[in-house]
Amino acid sequence: MLFDTHAHLDSPKFDKDRADVLRRARENGVTAVVNIGFNRETIPTTIALAEEHDWIYAAVGWHPTDAVDMKEEDLDWIESLCSHPKVVAIGEIGLDYYWDTSPKPVQHDVFRRQIRLARRLGKPIIIHNRDAHRDVVDILREERAAEVGGIMHCFSGSWEIAKECLDMNFYISFGGPVTFKNARQPKEVLARVPMDRLLIETDCPYLTPEPYRGKRNESAYVRYVAEAAAEIRGVSVETLCEITFRNAQQCFGIN
């Protein structure tokens, strides 16, 4: 049983063969996916996908690269969608200092407001963090995000940053990069994360694992992440899948 905790299966990159992509996921043992709606365009398509398939769940939030576009009514919209039975988290939210599309103060404000919303609603949060480790951790602490916890999505930080996130009730999730030969830091962190806080994901159609690196990613390929993680941890693939599946259920409140 595989749980892909972060996917974008509503992406236009899947428009021509989405049914085949979903079929391959099932054939490769994927029995649950959380699909991410992160702006005005992707939130409706994420909800629609989750409504269409009983094994696909949804997260809704506002991505930091789109922070400059978020209006008050968008936050109200996200709040209203959190009562939907298939919406299991608020995300992906956070900070992105790589793409220069939203000023840092605007990103910080949008991030903080969504953490506060999550705390009020009791929803876990899914964190996007690109080149902003210190500020992400500091804001999570200042906004008392530990009250709801959540997921550090496709974690790329150091073990020291990971420890701070673990102390704040977060799971650490790994994707395709742990299959790359030269990805030393993610592998080192994965080796040290407590097994009851470990998650796996694809972030498809992005971050494709070996042996398909450079091609479009899809949920079926989460098995390669599981295999790499199992090897790093010195456990069987079956054990790794069972533990990460149970962790995802616990994080999202899915029975």
Neighbours of 182 (CB within 10 A): 7
pLDDT at residue 90 in the model: 98
pLDDT at residue 23 in the model: 98
pLDDT digits (tens, 9 = 90+) for 35-89: 999 999 999 999 999 999 999 999 999 999 999 999 999 999 999 999 999 999 9
Percentage of residues of the chain with pLDDT beyond 70: 100
pLDDT at residue 138 in the model: 98
Reading the block at residue 90, the tokens are 């608020």
Contact 184, 235 (CB under 8 A): no
pLDDT band per the 50, 70, 90 thresholds, residue 255 = confident
pLDDT band per the 50, 70, 90 thresholds, residue 146 = very high
pLDDT at residue 112 in the model: 98
Note if the pTM is more than 0.95.
yes
Is 90 exceeded by the pLDDT of residue 100?
Answer: no
pLDDT at residue 61 in the model: 98
pLDDT band per the 50, 70, 90 thresholds, residue 120 = very high
pLDDT at residue 13 in the model: 98
Is 90 exceeded by the pLDDT of residue 166?
Answer: yes
Contact 2, 196 (CB under 8 A): no
CA torsion sign, 159 to 147 to 30 to 39? Answer: negative
How large is the average pLDDT for residues 107-118? Answer: 98
Mean pLDDT rounded to a whole number for the chain? 98
pLDDT digits (tens, 9 = 90+) for 225-237: 999 999 999 999 9
pLDDT band per the 50, 70, 90 thresholds, residue 248 = very high
Contact 63, 39 (CB under 8 A): yes
Contact 228, 209 (CB under 8 A): yes
Is 90 exceeded by the pLDDT of residue 141?
Answer: yes
Taking alpha carbons only, the member of 168, 169, 107 closest to residue 135 is 107
Tracing tokens 């079956």 back to the chain, one arrives at 238
Reading the block at residue 180, the tokens are 């790359």
Best CATH choice for the domain 2-252 from the list 3.30.230.10, 2.160.10.10, 3.40.50.10540, 3.20.20.140: 3.20.20.140
How large is the average pLDDT for residues 108-123? Answer: 98
Taking alpha carbons only, the member of 115, 7, 13 closest to residue 61 is 115
pLDDT at residue 56 in the model: 98
Q: Where are the domains of the chain?
A: 2-252
Reading the block at residue 96, the tokens are 């992105």
Measured CA to CA, the distance from residue 171 to residue 94 in angstroms comes to 15
pLDDT at residue 36 in the model: 98
